[in-house]
Amino acid sequence: MSPLVNIEDTYGALFLGVVASVGLMGITTMQTWIYWIRYSKRDGLFTKTLVLVIWSLEFLRACFSVHAVYNYVVVEWGNPEALSVSIWSLNINTPFTSIIQIIVHSFFISQI
C-alpha cells in the first residue's frame, strides 16, 4: 500500500537538516565551553555577553527546529492536511536565524 502523501522529499529533508543542526549545536556548545574555560578571562564583558547571547539564541533555534520536526512527523503522523500548515516553531526559525546572523556579522565587521 502506497502512502497518501510522500513526505520523504520535504519533511525527510527537514528532519535530516535538524539532525545536522543539532549535531553542529553540540560543536558550538563545546566551543563555547572551551572559550569560557580558556579565554574568557582576557576578554571584556561585552565579548563574554555576546558569546552567551549567541549560544542562547542558537540553542533556542535548535529547540524550535526539533519541536517543528516532532510536530510534523510524530504528533501529526497520518494527518496529511497538517503537513500543509506552518506551525509557530517553524515560522520563528527564520527571524531567529536572521538575528543571529546580524549579530555575528556586526561583530566581525567591528573587528575589521
The tens digit of pLDDT for each residue in 51-83 reads 999 999 999 999 999 999 999 888 887 777 777
pLDDT value, residue 76: 80
Query: What are the C-alpha distances in Å from 63 to residues 18, 47, 90, 96, 108?
Result: 10, 24, 10, 12, 26
Q: Is the pTM of this model over 0.85?
A: no
